């Protein structure tokens, strides 16, 4: 692949749709596969809609950790149906009931127990998804507004030796997201809970590791 700095300079100022089209064109070979990951939290329908307008059958990976709110599950079903998503669901190999007993509830942040909890809940299922689907391209809904780490990211990065991560809406604001949701009449739900993240803006681990 061409130097990432050159690629990101080339994509600077491009629209989300242009970035998505560029990425899919670069990896449009008979043996390559692309995925988009989602947790169906706030504004997740935006990127799902953007990408599926270009590639309707793209593999959508949902790591359902079992801790989502009832509202999240309801909106997930609406988005899946409305967009006709090609959904692949991966779940932890331990149940919420087991984890609650093992950690006496949710483990404290920044402890070995929390690292282990995050691995069980998110990293292992996502690794399993990658092993199953073997994608070359991974679309994410990361935005610079969301955390200090994400402010340092580029649109195109590497997530592993053979995996390119694309963040088409990296520079979008919350207002941009709200406007897109309204314009396209997309389901949205703000009542979302991630047991691995703690305070708003804290990274969960999925975007801090190489796969």
Q: Is 4-183 a CATH 3.40.50.620 domain?
A: yes
CA distance 121 to 107: 12
32-46 core/surface letters (b: 16 or more CB in 10 A; e: else): eebbbbbbbbbbbbb
Mean pLDDT of the chain: 91
Token couple for 123: 């990293």
Residues 12-21 pLDDT 10s: 999 999 999 9
Tens of pLDDT, residue by residue over 139-151, are 999 999 887 677 7
| β-sheet with 137-139: strand ranges across | 86-90, 59-63, 34-38, 137-139, 163-166, 156-160
pLDDT digits (tens, 9 = 90+) for 32-43: 899 999 999 999
Q: For 162-173, write each residue's pLDDT tens digit.
A: 899 999 999 999
Greater pLDDT, 27 or 153: 153
Is pLDDT at 178 greater than 60 in this prediction?
Answer: yes
Every domain of the chain and the residues it spans: 4-183
Give the Å distances, CA to CA, from 41 to 28, 71, 122, 153. 29, 10, 15, 21
pLDDT of residue 26: 85
pLDDT tens digits, residue range 76-108?
999 999 999 999 999 999 999 999 999 999 999
pLDDT at 32: 80
Give the whole-number percent of the chain exceeding pLDDT 70: 91
């Amino acid at each position: 692949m061409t130097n990432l700095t050159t690629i990101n300079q080339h994509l600077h100022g491009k629209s989300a749709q242009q970035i998505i089209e560029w990425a899919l064109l670069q990896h449009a070979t008979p043996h390559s596969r692309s995925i988009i990951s989602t947790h169906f939290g706030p504004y997740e329908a935006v990127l799902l809609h953007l990408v599926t307008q270009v590639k309707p059958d793209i593999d959508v990976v949902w790591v359902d950790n079992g801790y989502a709110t009832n509202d999240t599950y309801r909106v997930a079903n609406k988005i899946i149906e409305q967009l006709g998503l090609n959904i692949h669901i991966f779940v932890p190999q331990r149940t919420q009931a087991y984890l609650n007993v093992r950690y006496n509830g949710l483990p404290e942040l920044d402890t070995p127990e929390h690292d282990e909890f995050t691995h069980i809940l998110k990293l292992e299922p996502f690794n399993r998804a990658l092993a199953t689907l073997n994608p070359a391209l991974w679309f994410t809904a990361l935005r610079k507004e969301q955390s200090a780490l994400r402010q340092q990211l580029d649109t195109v990065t590497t997530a592993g030796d053979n995996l390119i991560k694309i963040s088409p809406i990296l520079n979008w604001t919350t207002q941009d997201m709200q406007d897109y949701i309204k314009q396209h009449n997309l389901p949205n739900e703000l009542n979302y809970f991630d047991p691995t993240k703690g305070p708003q803006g804290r990274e969960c681990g999925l975007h801090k590791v190489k796969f």
